[in-house]
């Protein structure tokens, strides 16, 4: 989404975590954390962690504010996304969508739904008085939160209690160049 919004040239390389392609020696040399996404610069440099990648790409553009306090507010929501939101909502989606119905991790779903709804309630409340998350404009905080929020239904989340989130999703999709996350 950031690359498309900023109209930066890039090549997308599909890596399957399900098929173990993030655990090969070649991949671990690029990202010892064994996770996608990884940004490959082409000069032997790599950068892992989605939040760090989008901050790198957005640095110097309107998606990353210049004001020190606004930068911290953007990071606040990005850390919230990684520490509270992703571990509940993205993982619930992963379990329901990609694991067998009798996989032992299915037992984690009730707790992830409970924690995920708490995160969504915090977002809903924030959007009662604000159009976007980190600042009054769309920033990488919105992109970070958009990714798994707009597909939260896949994780079993009933989104009907969150009309402000629905409006915000529509606002993010209106940004130039924005695309829905790859399925």
Contact positions toward a second copy, by CB under 8 A? 32-33, 45, 47-53, 55-56, 59-60, 68-69, 71-73, 75-76, 78-80, 82-84, 86-87, 122, 125-126
Question: 28 or 170, CB closer to a second copy?
Answer: 28
- Shortest gap between Cβ of 48 and a second copy (angstroms)? 6
Question: 28 or 173, CB closer to a second copy?
Answer: 28
- Shortest gap between Cβ of 120 and a second copy (angstroms)? 12
- Shortest gap between Cβ of 30 and a second copy (angstroms)? 13
Q: Cα(72)–Cα(56) distance, rounded to whole angstroms?
A: 15
Question: 142 or 174, CB closer to a second copy?
Answer: 142
Question: 11 or 129, CB closer to a second copy?
Answer: 129
Phi, psi of 64 (to 5 degrees): -125, 115
- Shortest gap between Cβ of 78 and a second copy (angstroms)? 8
């Amino acid at each position: 989404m950031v690359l498309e919004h900023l109209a930066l040239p890039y090549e997308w390389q599909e890596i399957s975590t399900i098929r173990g392609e993030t655990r090969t020696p070649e991949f671990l040399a690029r990202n010892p954390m064994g996770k996608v996404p990884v940004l490959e610069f082409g000069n032997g440099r790599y950068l892992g962690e989605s939040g760090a990648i989008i901050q790198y790409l957005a640095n110097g553009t309107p998606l990353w504010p210049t004001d020190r306090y606004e930068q911290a507010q953007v990071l606040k929501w990005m850390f919230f996304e990684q520490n509270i939101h992703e571990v509940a909502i993205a993982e619930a989606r992963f379990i329901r969508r990609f694991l067998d119905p009798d996989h032992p991790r299915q037992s984690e779903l009730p707790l992830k739904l409970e924690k995920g709804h708490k995160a969504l309630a915090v977002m809903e409340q924030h959007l009662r008085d604000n159009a976007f998350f980190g600042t009054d404009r769309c920033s990488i905080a919105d992109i970070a939160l958009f990714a798994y929020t707009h597909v939260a239904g896949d994780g079993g989340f009933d989104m009907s209690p969150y009309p402000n989130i629905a409006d915000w999703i529509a606002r993010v999709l209106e940004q130039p160049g924005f695309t829905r996350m790859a399925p």
